[in-house]
Structure 1
Amino acid sequence: MTVRDGHGAILTHVEELLGVRTPFEELMDRALAQVDQQDHATWSRASLQLSGRREEATWAAAAVLRTSPDPSRRLFGAEVLRLIHLFDDSDEDAFAGPALDLFTGWAAAETDVAVLTEVLVALGEHSDPRAEAALLPHAGHPDARVRRAVAHGLSALSSPPAFSGDARTALLRLMAGPDAAVRKAACYTVAVGRDHDPVFADAMAAALDDTDRLVQLAAVYGLALHDDERCVEAARLLGPPQRGSLEEEGYFDAVWRYEWRRDGR
């Protein structure tokens, strides 16, 4: 009870190993019984197990939760639906179309912040203009979690290879917003995007003066990926990566690789 906070997740996993098909409602009830719900191991085990079934019956049971008056049930349904599509590695990808259709309409109507965030995360897993059209209206949402989901979600939409004008405007605004986590997410999306317009390089250069180290590092990373010389001095000023931080090491490694390309080695 101290280490595992109950055995709901273990029970669910053992049932799966033994071939016991626990009904959708029972697994959902286990997840909803947890105080911290979505962050709890029982919730994640239940949603992962259901999503692994990849069948119409499970999809329908999760989809009907969209109309539930209980935000927790809507959140659980949204996560299951998102994971069904995310982990569908079949050639048919049968759930891609239904997922996009469902989540685009859901994003316009959802009022609960946690549920809306999950829906926007799901939309960000689709490289489709309809996903962008559903994401962008929430770029100015008052809750940082929602704005961060928009910033992350737009990363799937730079393959044309340029961002649309509206997406570009939203990303530049998010990079200069009040929340550090949102600024970092937007900067990272710009960094890994294939749109190398100089306006993005200048915005990342401006982010080098950010008060948050991770935002600065994301900017250094982006400038390196965009072959911008300003990343070298910025990396030097930031000093070595923090010990044990793989994220920081990855950012600095991009600068080393830029210098390698620049010097023709």
Structure 2
Amino acid sequence: MGRRRLDEEQTAAGLLELAADEDRNVRAAAGGALCTACDGSPEVTSAVVALLRDPVERVRAGMSEAVTHCANRSADIADALFALLDEEDFSVRLNAAYALLRWEDPRTAEAVERVGPLSRPGHEHDHRLSAIWRWEWDRNQP
């Protein structure tokens, strides 16, 4: 068991270092891996939040998708997702709202509203939109 814990710690340390790399592609890839291996530690949570607030749009976009599968559903990550609802990119807003919906965040209704019109060309079979439509349907049923 001790060896496995050491390997996990070394992996996390390496990913945290890569999440701060100056290359945006490296940061984006590290962020996706951090979300997959998210252990809920303050260091990992801070790194995920930092990447959701990254100055590079492509990094934020990649993280908005990766974090939908993150087991760490901390308030800090949810707040960073909610802030992404101001992004111009429809997919980023959609990812943020979808993650908040999956996490049953109390701000889901506002998040869905801030996504904007849900009928978009190219998104006809999008699982995120299907989930939002189902959520809206369930909410409006007596």
What is the TM-score with the length of structure 1 in the denominator? 0.45
Call closer, same or farther: CA 1:140–1:240 in 2, change over 3 Å: same
Call closer, same or farther: CA 1:136–1:245 in 2, change over 3 Å: same
Residue 95 of structure 2 aligns to a residue whose secondary structure is helix
Alignment of 1:151-170 (within 5 A): 151-158=31-38, 162-170=39-47
Question: Who wins on radius of gyration, i.e. which is larger?
Answer: 1
Equivalent pair of 2:35/2:71 in contact (CA under 8 Å): no
Report Cα offsets for 1:114-156 as digits up to 9, x if no partner.
xxxxxxxxxxxxxx44322211102121111111101111122
Instruction: Identify the structure with bigger relative contact order (alpha carbons < 8 Å, sequence gap 6+).
Output: 2
State the partner residue of 2:130: 253
- Is 1:135 matched with 2:15? yes
Unaligned runs of 5+ in 2: 1-6
What residue identity is the alignment partner of 1:220?
Answer: A
What residue identity is the alignment partner of 2:122?
Answer: G
Q: 1:149 aligns with which of 29, 35, 48?
A: 29
Equivalent pair of 1:155/1:190 in contact (CA under 8 Å): yes
RMSD over aligned Cα atoms = 2.6
What residue identity is the alignment partner of 1:132?
Answer: A
Alignment of 1:74-113 (within 5 A): none
State the partner residue of 1:235: 112
Task: Please state how far the C-alpha of 1:263 moved relative to its aligned partner.
Answer: 6.8
Cα distance in 1 for partners of 2:117, 2:60 equals 21
Unaligned runs of 5+ in 1: 1-103, 105-127
Task: Please state how far the C-alpha of 1:260 moved relative to its aligned partner.
Answer: 5.7
Cα distance in 1 for partners of 2:124, 2:108 equals 19
Q: Percent identity?
A: 29
Report Cα offsets for 1:32-66 as digits up to 9, x if no partner.
xxxxxxxxxxxxxxxxxxxxxxxxxxxxxxxxxxx
Cα distance in 2 for partners of 1:166, 1:261 equals 37
Alignment of 1:1-265 (within 5 A): 128-158=8-38, 162-237=39-114, 238-245=116-123, 249-259=126-136
Call closer, same or farther: CA 1:222–1:138 in 2, change over 3 Å: same
What residue identity is the alignment partner of 1:244?
Answer: G
What is the TM-score with the length of structure 2 in the denominator? 0.78
